[in-house]
Structure 1
Amino acid sequence: MRDGFIKVAAATPTIKVADCEYNGRQIRSLIEEAQSQAVKVLVLPELCLSGYTCGELFLQDSLLNSAMVELKQIVDFTKGRKIFVTLGLPILRNAKLYNVAAAIYNGKLLGFVPKKNLPGYSEFYEVRHFNAGEEEVSEVTFFGEKIPFGMNILFCCEDFGQLMIGIEICEDLWVPLSPSVSHTLAGATLILNPSASDETTGKDIYRRELIRMQSAKLVCGYIYAASGEGESSTDLVFGAHNLIAENGILLKESPRFINEMTITELDMGKLASERRRMTTYHVAERKDYLYVSFAFGEDILSEETELTRFIDKAPFVPGKKEEREKRCEEIINIQAYGLKKRLEHTGLKTAVLAISGGLDSTLALLVVCKAFDLLRLDRKGIIAVTMPCFGTTDRTYNNAVTLARELSVSFLEIPIKDAVNLHFKDIGHDPLVHDVIYENVQARERTQVIMDLSNKYNGLVIGTGDMSELALGWATYNGDHMSMYGVNASVPKTLVRYLVGYFAMITDNAALREVLTDILDTPVSPELLPPKDGVIAQKTEELVGPYELHDFFLYHVLRYGYTPGKIFRLARIAFLEDYSADVILKWLKNFYRRFFSQQFKRSCLPDGPKVGSVAVSPRGDLRMPSDASAAQWMKELELL
């Protein structure tokens, strides 16, 4: 469970209705299989020990007695096995029958959790046989031992504090106020649901979304195990639709109509981080709950869970084309409407921005055009300024010119070589020394030019820098770092590329599509050093590292506060075929070093719209001191 990961499973045994002895053997076989695959939490379906479709047979003592005997054998079978098991069966208490989930660990029956909401509509008639469970915890005798009985029981792992288990059964999830709501507010981080949901047309879609959204709303893991083949098909068919979700993400689901075991890993550390971040999520220990402890063992936190779950190498970019296009449209709208409001508020009808023929300034210009179109302003009020200097190549220059022409904006070309050389003379710098002074003088000169042009034309200076650059501090302080409104301020570099590509895809202008495509193919560069043989010599990713790695690091650092070790572990899996472990570690160290040292630049960022779940604005998501020490993080990195 190192790094907070725990392997879990939902499994559907192939049963025989009312044959508890046979069903018990199938369940024990699944427990053994789960253990062999290092599963720590296993969920089996509702009433799977007897069968859900027993009907009037639930009133037969022989069935009930057999279920109890088989449960005892299953409990004994788990002795010495470090796996938490939940399964469903009918039990008698005070001469009344209850549909319960039994919680079992290491040869011990930890508790019975009864089902509260008993459906008696449509094809269901549970109310004919069962009594509704109550929240209050009492006791029931099981082979001479007093066992907790009630809905308000949570099972707490002593040596893995992030794991606290609550249980609800099938219909309990489908009602307006599910028991899982109360469970999670009392501390549960993982909800188990033994279910016997039958299949009807389209029901799987509703079920999937219900479970996914419940896990999102409650910020928890959710394991749903459904009955399948073996249940009576007199009137119904059960689909064995097992699902495992985590905070709104469906991690794994089984194909329907096939009885099998569905296994994945939950990131309990992510859930803990998300709850810690949310000031509106209030968890408190409650006196009306019974907290039952169990322990996996002292070495459990150092045990490395093999990860089979999908690790997205591009967490800012949706993997599916349709979702990606929808996201692009949404982000562009957020950017454009944010700028629209700023222009309306200031009463300005002119915008000034520097364009280089690179990705960031291209996206900014496209967004400004959309904002002007929303305001029904003439695009000639957009002043796109290109300022060629020592590092400018013909390729980027020509692309900047073509872009301005095809977008029908005003275009200015202001070479800055003479001004930069004069400044070198003023400050006594040798122009043959291509150091940080050589580079930053150019960046600040460009910013001075567009700031002064904004005064001349009564316009708003639009910033072009993106979030990835801000995270790394890859911006010249009071140079390209500064503007009057930064439309790209919370757009990561990996997403910038897709946004520009989206514009290229939707435009009817063939010439515009061609230039956007070429810009997408151009290496990322500030073009502050002279080109070699007319080709860009200064490639950003060779200096600070691949942006796809840095965006991956950025997402997991800011979104979940993961440790360097956990991020390194995830990155090695995500980029297994792209980078060696040494290369990943090299750039991870560089990320942390720059992230901490460059906070002073982010502390005085211009305004700009937040577009996603991660941002670096000092007025929003990242209130971080500029003089914070990176020592602890660097120390952890040295141990990797």
Structure 2
Amino acid sequence: MFGYYRLASAVPQLRVADVDYNIDQLMAGFRQAAAQQAAAVVFPELCITGYSCGDLFFQPRLREAALNGLRRFAEATKGTRTVAVVGLPFLYGDALYNTAAVVQGGRILALVPKTMLPNYREFYEKRQFTSGREPGAGVREVTVNGALVPFGTDIVFHDEASSFSFGIEICEDLWSVIPPSSMLALQGARAIFNPSAGTELTGKAAYRRELVKQQSGRCLCAYVLASAGVHESTTDVVFGGHSLIADNGRLAAEGERFRRESTLILADVDFERLAAARLSESSFNDSKALLPSVNTLHLTLAEEVPPSPGLEHACNPARPFLPPPPHRRERCEEIIAIQTAGLAKRMEHTHAQRLVIGISGGLDSTLALLICARVCQALDKPASAILAVTMPGFGTTDRTHTNAVNMCRLLGVELREIPISEASLQHFRDIGHDPAERTTTYENVQARERTQILMDLANKMGGLVVGTGDLSEIALGWSTYNGDHMSMYAVNCSIPKTLIRCLIEHIAAQSSPELAATLLDINNTPVSPELLPPSDDGTIEQRTEDVLGPYDLHDFFLFHFIKYSAQPEKILYLAENAFRDEFQPDFIRRCLGVFMRRFFRQQFKRSCIPDGPKVGTISLSPRGDWRMPSDACGTVWSNGLSHS
């Protein structure tokens, strides 16, 4: 569903050269994968006979048994749509090939021979096998159990009804200078299946894992590897049964090595997302100029493969912008370093004497102030080079004001308080606005008054106004045009609201107890522009997430809409799955409608935003990642959502 397909890597028990036993194990593994509605399952290299048969591969009896076993296995796949990739030796002409057979619905669709044959240390494949990459060989037809099937390395398999496509390389092929999978990906394969037989040596599994991840990232594809297990011969080496599934540089699933029973791992992979990534990565299509002049066979599968029945084995985090816990500290420091480097460069280039920033006691201005403090450290300037200005207005609460003052005191920055209520009332009189009318005008006058103060102070002292607005607000247009929308450098511009909380929490963990307590209270304060008067009890009345919906949802929508061009119906499906324990489907749908409407209507603000550093894979800068007409119509997207 929505481009998701379930991929499987299986490592069965086997007996070396006992084909009948091995076929029984392969059929059991296949039935298990098919029952899970896998689109494809990959078994290890030469799994029908066992990889470690050595010179027994020269024996006709073993090769004949392998072909008979392949016939029996193919028959067992009748009535299913799951693709299986199994390995066997195959004699063609006067040469023996290490091949992978692609089987679906009772049919053998093709044989793919191995290209790179190891001939070092524990491997001597060239003793028995011939490389499938013969000059000018191309794709031929061979007879397998009485039927003609394609035979060659340049085959891309397609499900014509969907985005599902794949190519095959075998074990050592991945370890070569230019793996065949690189060319197969450029020719349209969105997944690479690798039946493998890697021995286990100290540290080798980590290297293999990185190879698979890197190749999947480089080729913008899924990569499935199934390696021979512990029941191969242990005469001189041991095989560990390493199974891996990677998805565009991310490890999606990994099996436990050295298991003595048969194993199966699964991952639900978004093939539409892989296709979208290839569209937006210009270097991918530019690389097609490097393709050799080969006649690739684009082979249609016998049947449409089953789509993933769900997302049980998918990577679908509810908060995709947050660094994973094992790497959170490192990633947070890296993000902060990027922000610091960007602002430090701008301060140096403009010869600014001061950094001027408006402080509200909210999330965005807090992170921006903390980055300003880091900049002063990096440039060997005192904290007093920062001028923090708190500008209480009609909606300012004691909680946010106190937190702002405490934070500035603890950081050692200069703090000025300039109330804006009287200036705003004077402006209401100047433009003939009744302050009893709590309209957009009432709110925006305050935001523009604050920006005017900051800009004028910066001019007065040779300073630079640091913007505080974040990526979530930029996406939703939740800012006052030429008010908080404007600054001289927007240090948070590519950081979404969910990530800002994470960064503040990270800095709090490194701070003094008093500063940490203030930062954590800021993190726990409801998000608000504080432009409307507080409640009778003095607490925040105007809560942004009550108006827009939770930023957790909007950041999720933003991630999938921008990074992977996901359709609204798909975003809704993913969000309902990711937030099934937090929000009701109807509420998620309403929030997505808000996101889509505001995203299209507020592009005019994004078309003229200040400079700022990109810290992740998503930015809405009109000079960089996002170039959209300010008056583009969003009807196509909103209609799709209403019909889903």
Q: Which residue of 2 is the match for residue 64 of structure 1?
A: 63
Partner of 2:280: 277
Q: What is the distance in 2 between the residues matched to 1:431 and 1:158?
A: 63
The gaps in structure 1 that reach 5 residues or longer are none
Q: Which residue type is aligned with residue 506 of structure 1?
A: Q
1:265 to 268, 276, 288: 268
Q: Residues 159 and 296 of structure 1 are in contact (CA less than 8 Å); yes or no, is this contact kept in structure 2? A: no
Contact kept, 8 Å, 2:6 with 2:308, in 1: the verdict is no
1:539-558 equivalence runs, <5 A: 539-558=543-562
The aligned residue for residue 140 of structure 1 is 142
Provide the C-alpha distance between the structure 1 equivalents of 2:33 and 2:327, rounded to a whole number of angstroms: 35
The answer (yes or no) to whether the contact 2:368–2:466 under 8 Å persists in 1 is yes
Given residue 323 of structure 1, which amino acid in structure 2 is its aligned partner? H
* Number of aligned residues: 633
User: 1: distance between equivalents of 2:495 and 2:30?
Assistant: 47
Cα contact 1:349–1:377 (8 A) shared by 2: no
Alpha-carbon distance in 1 for matches of 2:524, 2:186: 50
1:420 matched to which residue of 2?
Answer: 424
Cα distance in 2 for residues equivalent to 1:621 and 1:335: 17
Aligned partners of 2:488 and 2:610 also within 8 Å:
yes
Give the superposition deviation at 1:435: 1.7
Q: CA deviation at 1:29?
A: 2.1
**CA deviation string 1:283-307 (max 9, x = no partner):** 589642122212434xx79x66322
| 1:39 equivalent in alignment to 2:41 | no
Q: d(CA) in 1 for partners of 2:531 and 2:616?
A: 31
- Counterparts of 1:231-310 in structure 2, within 5 Å, are 231-258=232-259, 259-282=262-285, 283=288, 287-297=294-304, 305-308=309-312, 309-310=314-315
Secondary structure (helix, strand or coil) at the match of 1:257 reads coil
Per the alignment, in what secondary structure is the counterpart of residue 506 of structure 1?
coil
Instruction: Confirm or deny: 8 A CA contact 1:492 1:551 kept in the other structure.
Output: yes
Deviations 1:167-204 (A, max 9, x none): 11011111111111111112211110001112222221
Summarize the alignment of residues 480-559 of structure 1 with structure 2, pairs less than 5 Å apart: 480-507=484-511, 509-532=512-535, 533-559=537-563
Does residue 591 of structure 1 match 2:590?
Answer: no
Classify the secondary structure of the residue corresponding to 1:280.
Answer: helix
With the length of structure 1 as denominator, give the TM-score of the two structures: 0.96
Q: Quick check: 1:79–1:105 contact (8 Å CA) kept in 2?
A: yes
The letter for the 1-side match of 2:309 is T
Aligned partners of 1:394, 1:106: CA distance in 2, in Å? 70
Equivalent residues of 2:39, 2:308 under 8 A apart: no
Residue 304 and residue 43 in structure 1: after superposition, are their counterparts in 2 closer, same or farther (change >3 A)? Answer: closer
Which whole-Å CA distance do the structure 2 matches of 1:459 and 1:131 have between them? 71
1:281 alignment partner, SS class: helix
Distance, in Å, in 2 between the alignment partners of 1:398 and 1:505 is 21
Aligned identity (percent) is: 49
The farther-off stretch of 223-232 and 415-424 is: 223-232
Q: Secondary structure at the match of 1:53?
A: helix
Corresponding position of 1:78: 77
Residues 1:407 and 2:406 aligned together: no
d(CA) in 2 for partners of 1:144, 1:512: 78
Task: Tell me whether 1:631 sits opposite 2:608 in the alignment.
Answer: no
Structure 2 length normalisation: TM-score?
A: 0.96
8 Å contact 2:104–2:303 — kept in the other structure? no
Instruction: Give the 3-state SS of the residue equivalent to 2:357 in structure 1.
Output: strand
Runs of 4+ that moved beyond 6 A: none
Equivalent position to 2:381, from 377, 383, 390? 377
Amino acid at match of 2:251: L
Over 3 Å counting, the alpha-carbon distance change for 1:70 and 1:304 in structure 2 is closer
Structure 2 CA distance for aligned equivalents of residues 125 and 181 of structure 1: 25
Shift of 1:569: 0.7
Which amino acid is the alignment partner of residue 332 of structure 1?
I
Bigger shift: residues 539-548 or 145-154: 145-154
- The one-letter amino acid of 2:367's match is L
Name the structure 2 match of 1:202: 203
Q: Specify the alignment match of 1:228 in structure 2.
A: 229
Aligned pair 1:359/2:363, yes or no? yes
The amino acid that maps onto 1:222 is: Y
Q: Give the stretch that moved more between structures: 107-116 or 417-426.
A: 107-116
In the TM superposition, what is the alpha-carbon distance from 1:211 to its structure 2 partner?
0.3
1:569 aligns with 2:573: yes
Matches of 2:18 and 2:540, distance apart in 1: 75
Deviation at 1:530, TM superposition (A): 1.0
Secondary structure of the corresponding residue to residue 437 of structure 1 = helix
Deviation at 1:143, TM superposition (A): 2.7
In structure 2, C-alpha distance between the alignment counterparts of 1:607 and 1:32, rounded to whole Å: 56
Amino acid corresponding to residue 148 of structure 1 in structure 2: P
SS at 1:488 equivalent: coil
CA–CA distance in structure 2, aligned partners of residues 329 and 171 of structure 1: 38
C-alpha deviation, 1:390, in angstroms: 1.0
Cα offsets for 1:603-630 (capped at 9, x unmatched)? 1101111110001111111101111111
Q: Quick check: 1:24–1:70 contact (8 Å CA) kept in 2? A: yes
What residue is the counterpart of 2:607 in the other structure? 603
Partner of 1:29: 28
Q: Is the 8 A contact 2:353 2:461 kept in 1?
A: no
- 1:199 maps to a residue whose letter is E
1:101-116 aligned within 5 A: 101-116=100-115
CA shift, 1:205, in A, is 1.1
RMSD: 1.5
Q: Helix, strand or coil: the match of 1:232?
A: coil
Give, in whole Å, the separation in 2 of the partners of 1:187 and 1:453. Answer: 57
Measure, in 2, the Cα distance between the counterparts of 1:488 and 1:466: 5
Per the alignment, residue 311 of structure 1 pairs with: 316
Q: What's the CA shift string for 1:312-332, capped at 9, x where partnerless?
A: 111110121x41111111111
Q: 1:304 to 1:31 in 2, by over 3 A?
A: closer
| 1-structure distance, mates of 2:308, 2:192 | 23
Name the structure 2 match of 1:213.
Answer: 214
